[in-house]
Amino acid sequence: MSKAVRYAVSLLSNDQKAFISAKFEQCCLSVLGCQDNQINVAFQLNGKELRIEPNRHGARLEHPESCPCRFLTASDILSINEHSGRSGVRVGVSFVIQSADGCVLLTKRPKTMRSFPNIWVTPGGHIENGETLIQAGIREIHEETGVLTIESNITMLGLWESVYPPVLGMGLPTAHHIVVYMLARLPQDHREIELKLQESEVSAAAWLDRDTVAEIVQSDEYGKTRNAVQKYFKVKLIENGQQVDKNFPLSILMACMPTSEDWTQERLSSGSKFALRQWLEHCDTPE
């Protein structure tokens, strides 16, 4: 396995009209000149940096309306952990994995993870030395789930600015990434795919059909409008080193953004919800 390398983000500054290294404490969308929560961009992995610039014909880049880096005070910035501050904004990749029968795979992060513990996500991770974005995603999928895919079956979905913790009420940021989301199509139905979950990275996994995904992504991040439905989904769970099957309430995946009192609450990550919305749009667009 190649040595892990920190790939950084570089942004075309709206003020300086030049590419600059993204600072850990700065909101990337703001640097790009966006005062809303989404912007279309062009991006390219150049050496060990991901270069991003506004482009109205490009991919969608979003972040949650609660993006902590947009609301940091000068005092907050001075209080950010020095190591975190030096790390800049890092690059991640994540795949919406679609089976031949139209289901997608979600995985749950263990409670021991330093960022986003106990959270449901689309599988993915970081880039290793010499990898492309697609190669990194393919490797991460196989390592975490045992699923194999090939480059020719992969499509771009969009980018997400991810900050942890996701709201300032939970504490100052300790991680800041741009996550590139892609769609990987598999030739098998989901029942034909054997999952081999990596326990250190994945504590559970579930296949969801299109109707269930459509129900989930309508849920409101901040609990303003929608009640959770009384449905269940099938989960492959790791217990005592063994994979077992159980039913979980769908309300878990429709939970709201956490507060300082319940920051370990099980839910679907905002970035994964964005990616699933993009997947639904892609499904509805004629080839």
Q: What is the pLDDT of residues 73-84, one digit of tens each?
A: 999 999 998 877
The residue that leads in pLDDT, 268 or 229, is 268
pLDDT of residue 8: 93
Is the pLDDT at 252 greater than 80? The verdict is: yes
> Stretch 5-28: mean pLDDT, rounded?
88
Structure tokens at 82: 């020095």
pLDDT score recorded for residue 75: 95
Interatomic CA distance for residues 28 and 71, integer angstroms: 13
**Are 241 and 199 in contact, with CB atoms under 8 Å apart?**
yes
Average pLDDT of the residues in 235-250: 90
The larger pLDDT score, comparing residue 151 to residue 208, is at 208
- Region 265-285 average pLDDT: 91
Does residue 221 register a pLDDT over 60? yes
- pLDDT, residue 2, reads 47
Mean pLDDT of the chain: 89
pLDDT single digits (tens) 125-135:
999 888 999 99
CA distance 8 to 91: 6
The secondary structure element, H or E, covering residue 206 is strand 204-208
pLDDT at 1: 43
For the segment 130-143, the average pLDDT, to the nearest whole number, is 93
162-172 pLDDT per residue, tens: 999 998 888 89
Write the pLDDT tens digit of every residue in 22-80. 999 999 999 999 989 999 999 999 888 999 999 999 999 999 988 999 999 999 999 99
Candidate from 26-35, 59-68, 112-121, 217-226 with smallest mean pLDDT: 217-226
Given a cut of 90, whether residue 175 has pLDDT beyond it is yes
Q: Output the DSSP codes for 76-123.
A: HHHHS-HHHHHH--EEEEEEEEE-TTS-EEEEE--TT-SSSTTEEE-S
Confidence of residue 277 (pLDDT cuts 50, 70, 90): very high
CA angle 109, 29, 52 (to 5 degrees): 85
Mean pLDDT confidence for 83-101 = 90
Percentage of the residues of the chain whose pLDDT score is greater than 90: 69
* Mean local confidence (pLDDT), 139-152: 91
pTM of the model: 0.92
Confidence of residue 193 (pLDDT cuts 50, 70, 90): very high
Pairwise pLDDT comparison (214 vs 256), residue with the higher score = 214
Work out the average pLDDT over 143-170. Answer: 92
Q: What is the mean pLDDT of residues 219-245?
A: 78
Secondary structure class of 203 (helix, strand, coil): coil
Under 8 Å between Cβ of 270 and 179: no
